[in-house]
Structure 1
Amino acid sequence: MPRDEMYSSSGSEASNEQDWLNDSNDEDGEQETLQVISLCDDQIFPDAASMLAYCKDKYLLDFLAIRNRLQLDFHGTVKLINFIRQRVHEAYPVPAEITEEHLQDDALLKPFLEDDALILCLDDLPEPPASSTEAEQAAVAGLSSEDLVKRNAELQRELDTLAQQFNRYRLAVQQTLDTRWAEGDAEATTDGPSNSNKAAVQDASSDPAKPDNDYSESYFASYARNEIHETMLKDHVRTDAYRDFVYQNKHLFEGKVVLDIGCGTGILSMFCAKAGAKQVIAVDKSEIVNKAREIIFDNGLDGNIVCLSGRIEEVTLPVKEVDIIISEWMGYCLLYEAMLNSVLWARDKYLKPDGLLVPSHANMWISPITNPGYFPDEYITDHVDFWRDVYGFDMKAMQANIYDDVRVDVLPPDCLGASPCAFEMLDLHTVKTEDLVFDRPWKTTLSGESKCVYGFLLWFDMFFAPSRHDTTVGDAMTAEEWSAGGPQRTAFTTGPFGHPTHWKQGVVINKDYAEDSQAVAPRSELHGTVSFTIPESYTRGLNIGITWEIPDKKSKKTETWMLH
């Protein structure tokens, strides 16, 4: 909403309008009964005076101040009414400052509401005050330097007060819209959600995209703190990739409706708005969404971005479908946190048939750790043997089950002793939720220096294809290979051959690496399977199972690690 609405141009103007607001209520017996619908919500009033007073008191929308500031005539005032009603109806934020440019379209002369009683009452509104510019200039000219300093201080205090009032208004309106959309009580329109959304929300509890345990609440709460967002934003591999794709493909975003799932601080939403998106709907269950609203407003993008608080499966969007879904959903080993489930749910419900997912593809990789110089000499010493002597105290009790968990760490590429193997490729436009639980084969050839399988390293690559029909991303293609195809190709890796990211890599240690049975012959083929399953105790976690065979030993080894 405009900041200028809250200014009082002069004492006489304020008195004139207040007298009208008070006196008009005394004439009810002389006027035909009207039903004037509020500009800001669905409340109905018997006259324009009480409605405008209500909007001014509750929403800080001073309609008369806007009209007077823009010096609108009858037709301009009609346009202003229809402009505000249209923005509120379509769930778009009213601009921070309404200007003449907003009212240039002659289509705004057509009443947004049939028989709009407010338009019928325009002749009853108080006349705009006469311009006082010349008088003000003359008064200022007669002030001394000391008086000017005092006057400037007074104006600054008024401005600070108005800014605080506007912030309160902005939060009040956004909370009202959140409540209205979450309840799903609005009637279906050509631009709004269908009445079937209620049923969809009710069914969400049984959907795999909606975990039903208490861990989800702590999961969302963890994203309300600054530290995690600082870490992600400072991950330049991650953030630069999203920025580069959006800015290098502005033609894909211009004039489009974009859904940002798990918006966090709103950085991806702001990229999209800057690229020309008509509307960006930013959704987040975490309390960080309140900070996102403020950030978006502070950057002047509140006219293009609307924030919704809640799970994507539960909120009601102000549109039936979107052109693009953008989300940074990836977790450790790609699928940890199960956020992809929510993205796929939203894809099936809201994305247009020819819509785009950003990013578009993911490849998952595995490679055996065989370098004895690094593992176990360095890694085991630092992370396992460490507990044997901690400042002179024996803490080996901490070593219990130490090999059962997936460790999240950054390892150097020379710890590997074989070529990486891509064991799963996800096309995000077509993959289904049930595909995220799988058992896939893999194989590789060990290097000439490999003598033992100490464990395995897992990571993923992300691809940003500009079309859902792009066929250039291969099943075993690395991010580096695909990016080399041209400057417009955006991709990144979380693996050991690239710059470290906050996802790091998944490290799983072979519990029996010290046994002779785990010895391998150099240049031999190693093959097996990789499985990803979901633990019943924590549906946002992962159980990662790896099976491998050592041909010379004719033995098969199977282990499972937890990422909870």
Structure 2
Amino acid sequence: PFNGPYLTRCMEIPHKKQRIDGSLTDSNYDDGEAQKLQTVSETVSKDAPFQRDLLVDEKYFKSYSFYEVHALMLADRRRTLTYRLALTQAHNRLHDQVILDVGSGTGILSIFGAKAGAKHVFAVDAAKKTCELAEKIIAENGLASSITVINSQVEDAKLAILDRVGAIVSEWMGYCLLYENMLTSVLLARDKYLLPTGAPSGVRPEDLAAWRRLRLFPCSASLFAAAFTETSLELDSAPNDSAESDLEALDAMDDSQKYTRKKLWSDLSELYQAKLDGVFADCVADEFYHQVHVKVVSKAAIVSNACKLCNLDLSTLDANELTRNGVQGHLDVSSIGLVSVNGLAIWFSVEFPDGEVLSTSPDVAPTHWQQCLIYLPQPLSLRQDDRIEGSLSFTHPFSNKRDLDVTLNCRFIEAKTENCILDFKRTYRLQS
């Protein structure tokens, strides 16, 4: 729904919504805030994980001060309308209840909750500028008496007037579902506030989980993967009429891997009379093939069945276990026809208590989450029913808890002989 260089860039780079990019975020810090960040930065070392996390969080929450970030999310109609429908469908359970909105942003989900009959909504968000905007939007909608905006991380929020809530709503999902590491905050809020009368001591764990499952929006999440192919410019083997004409052709192509091509750097070396097809070309390629890339993948580019890697029940998922171990998924897909596999596409879906599903699959209209791609170093030719078996794991690196590491450990197996064509392991990073 948006055009223009800023939002185009948001959709191209591997961030959920434009994050910590110096030239853009600096304009949103006043001199005092910038000095504060610099002071914190200078104290951070390998021996100071707490201070490092403070800096990471400071930058992370500041990044949400850009109004275009929220415009991008609000303009994602599939995302926003699914939440609206889910809360409206649950109006009988939400009537006269207190709702907690974790990471409330502009307050749109809080508005939906209030209109669904909630007695009161607490909208908690750590981005000060966004909270100030949310208060104005809420007042403009005539709901200032029904929604309280709290500028805080939910872990630190002082909800002194209540000890429990009747529902939690949150749009916590990042690229690859887990990028940004916001789910942990939702789970901690669940454990602290989402409690029926008599809980926890007077309620059996299975009954508590069932009760929570009806009051978490969303209540479950799933990760999926499939093999993909990418039609790309066959420049490396094309006849070289002129380096400059080849470069112009390459510029016109939507080719994710164009900067990894040796011939590009060979042509540029010839054009500039400076060697760039050696160490620089190798570094660019190495970086590309160790990153998670975010883009829309067409249904036609999927060349295997889709595999559900895992399902997360948010009513029972343990926050500490998620922090320690991340998420592990079993991978088992089979190729469809004779195909050239460039890598794996990863996406997610979330489900709400009354059955509404928000999917980011290539089979449905794109959302602002798009899909996430991890590339093999070289395309691999597979025949009908050849398999990719193994695992995909999702963890947050020690250096930045908001980033995400995706580790692929798999074997490519020939269907006809059951021989292993390739044994492959690599960790890819999705980072701010």
Give your verdict on TM over 0.5: yes
Give the secondary-structure state (helix, strand or coil) at the position aligned to 1:315: coil
Give the AA of the match of 2:306: P
Change (3 A) 1:324 1:372: closer
Give the aligned partner of residue 327 of structure 1. Answer: 170
Q: Aligned partners of 2:377, 2:259: CA distance in 1, in Å?
A: 14
Q: Aligned partners of 1:243, 1:368: CA distance in 2, in Å?
A: 33
Give the aligned partner of residue 541 of structure 1. Answer: 403
Question: Paired residue for 2:74, among 233, 237, 240?
Answer: 233
Change (3 A) 1:313 1:380: closer
1:407 aligns to 2:298 (yes or no): no
> 1:532: how far off?
1.1
Give the secondary-structure state (helix, strand or coil) at the position aligned to 1:559: strand
> 1:381: how far off?
5.2
Question: Paired residue for 1:379, among 240, 252, 255?
Answer: 255
Question: Paired residue for 1:463, among 323, 336, 351?
Answer: 351
Aligned residues: 329
Give the aligned partner of residue 328 of structure 2. Answer: 439
Question: Paired residue for 1:523, among 373, 377, 385?
Answer: 385
Change (3 A) 1:409 1:559: same
Give the aligned partner of residue 160 of structure 1. Answer: none
Question: Paired residue for 2:315, among 429, 436, 444?
Answer: 429
Question: Paired residue for 2:53, among 200, 212, 217?
Answer: 212
Q: Aligned partners of 2:372, 2:259: CA distance in 1, in Å?
A: 15
Question: Paired residue for 1:559, among 423, 426, 430?
Answer: 426
Q: Aligned partners of 1:414, 1:511: CA distance in 2, in Å?
A: 22
Change (3 A) 1:380 1:267: closer
> 1:525: how far off?
2.3
> 1:326: how far off?
0.2
> 1:225: how far off?
1.3
Per chain length, whose mean CA-contact separation is higher, i.e. which structure has more relative contact order (CA < 8 Å, sep 6+)? 2
Q: Aligned partners of 2:137, 2:377: CA distance in 1, in Å?
A: 48
Give the AA of the match of 1:379: D
Give the aligned partner of residue 257 of structure 1. Answer: 98
Question: Paired residue for 2:123, among 282, 288, 293?
Answer: 282
Contact 1:264 1:284 in 2 (8 A): yes
Give the AA of the match of 2:227: P
Q: Aligned partners of 2:350, 2:52: CA distance in 1, in Å?
A: 25
> 1:209: how far off?
12
Give the aligned partner of residue 35 of structure 1. Answer: none
Q: Aligned partners of 2:190, 2:110: CA distance in 1, in Å?
A: 17
Q: Aligned partners of 2:50, 2:99: CA distance in 1, in Å?
A: 20
1:269 aligns to 2:269 (yes or no): no
Give the aligned partner of residue 32 of structure 2. Answer: none
1:453 aligns to 2:341 (yes or no): yes
Contact 1:549 1:557 in 2 (8 A): yes
> 1:520: how far off?
2.9
- Structure 2 unaligned segments of length 5 or more: list them: 1-48, 197-210, 236-253
1:291 aligns to 2:133 (yes or no): yes
- Structure 1 unaligned segments of length 5 or more: list them: 1-207, 467-488
Q: Deviations over 1:267-299 (max 9, x none)?
A: 000111111110100000002011111111122
1:350 aligns to 2:193 (yes or no): yes
Q: Aligned partners of 2:233, 2:227: CA distance in 1, in Å?
A: 11
Q: Aligned partners of 2:218, 2:144: CA distance in 1, in Å?
A: 25
Q: Aligned partners of 1:358, 1:250: CA distance in 2, in Å?
A: 13
Contact 2:227 2:341 in 1 (8 A): yes
Question: Paired residue for 2:157, among 315, 324, 342?
Answer: 315
Q: Aligned partners of 1:502, 1:383: CA distance in 2, in Å?
A: 25
Question: Paired residue for 2:365, among 499, 507, 514?
Answer: 499
Give the AA of the match of 1:331: G
Change (3 A) 1:320 1:543: same
Give the secondary-structure state (helix, strand or coil) at the position aligned to 1:429: coil
Contact 1:508 1:561 in 2 (8 A): yes
Q: Deviations over 1:494-550 (max 9, x none)?
A: 12111111111111111133xxxx443332222111111221111111110112212
Contact 2:344 2:375 in 1 (8 A): yes
Contact 2:338 2:382 in 1 (8 A): no
Question: Paired residue for 2:412, among 519, 534, 550?
Answer: 550
TM-score by length of 1: 0.55
1:365 aligns to 2:224 (yes or no): yes
TM-score by length of 2: 0.71
1:33-52 matched pairs, under 5 angstroms: none
Greater CA deviation, 395-404 or 553-562? Answer: 395-404
Contact 2:125 2:151 in 1 (8 A): yes
Q: Aligned partners of 1:314, 1:491: CA distance in 2, in Å?
A: 31
> 1:383: how far off?
5.6
Q: Which structure has the greater CA radius of gyration?
A: 1
Give the AA of the match of 1:522: Q
Change (3 A) 1:230 1:428: same
Change (3 A) 1:373 1:292: closer
Contact 1:544 1:562 in 2 (8 A): yes
> 1:310: how far off?
0.8
Give the AA of the match of 1:425: N
Contact 1:462 1:491 in 2 (8 A): yes
Give the secondary-structure state (helix, strand or coil) at the position aligned to 2:150: strand
Contact 2:309 2:329 in 1 (8 A): yes
Give the AA of the match of 1:441: H
Q: Aligned partners of 1:387, 1:267: CA distance in 2, in Å?
A: 46
Give the aligned partner of residue 188 of structure 1. Answer: none
Give the AA of the match of 1:428: L
Contact 1:209 1:345 in 2 (8 A): no
Give the AA of the match of 1:503: W
RMSD (Å), alpha carbons: 2.6
Change (3 A) 1:267 1:380: closer
Change (3 A) 1:296 1:358: same
Q: Aligned partners of 2:174, 2:142: CA distance in 1, in Å?
A: 31
Q: Aligned partners of 2:157, 2:138: CA distance in 1, in Å?
A: 20
Contact 1:374 1:415 in 2 (8 A): no
Give the aligned partner of residue 85 of structure 2. Answer: 244
